[in-house]
Amino acid sequence: MKNDFDYLWTDKKRTLFGLPISFTRYFLTEDKFITRKGFLSITEDEFDLYRVTDKKLRLSLLERIFKCGTIQLHVKDVDTPIKVIDSVKEPRKVLSLIDTHVNLNKDKYKIRGRDMVGASGVDDYHVDESFLE
The residue extents of the domains of the chain are 9-111
Q: Over the stretch 48-82, which tens digit does the pLDDT of each residue have?
A: 999 999 999 999 999 999 999 999 999 998 888 99
CB atoms within 10 A of CB 42: 11
Instruction: Count other C-beta atoms under 10 Å from residue 75's C-beta.
Output: 20
The region that residue 9 occupies, defined by phi over 0 for left and psi between -120 and 50 for alpha, beta otherwise, is: beta
Fold type of domain 9-111: PH-domain like (2.30.29)
pTM: 0.80
Measured distance CA(26)–CA(106) in Å, rounded: 21
Could you tell me which residues are beta bridge partners of residue 52? Answer: 75
pLDDT averaged over every residue in the chain: 86
Neighbours of 27 (CB within 10 A): 21
Say if residue 1's pLDDT is above 70: no
pLDDT band, very low/low/confident/very high, at 131 (cuts 50, 70, 90):
very low
- Long-range CB pairs of 41-45 (<8 Å, 24+ gap) are 45/79, 45/80, 45/83
What pLDDT band is residue 42 in, cutting at 50, 70 and 90? Answer: very high
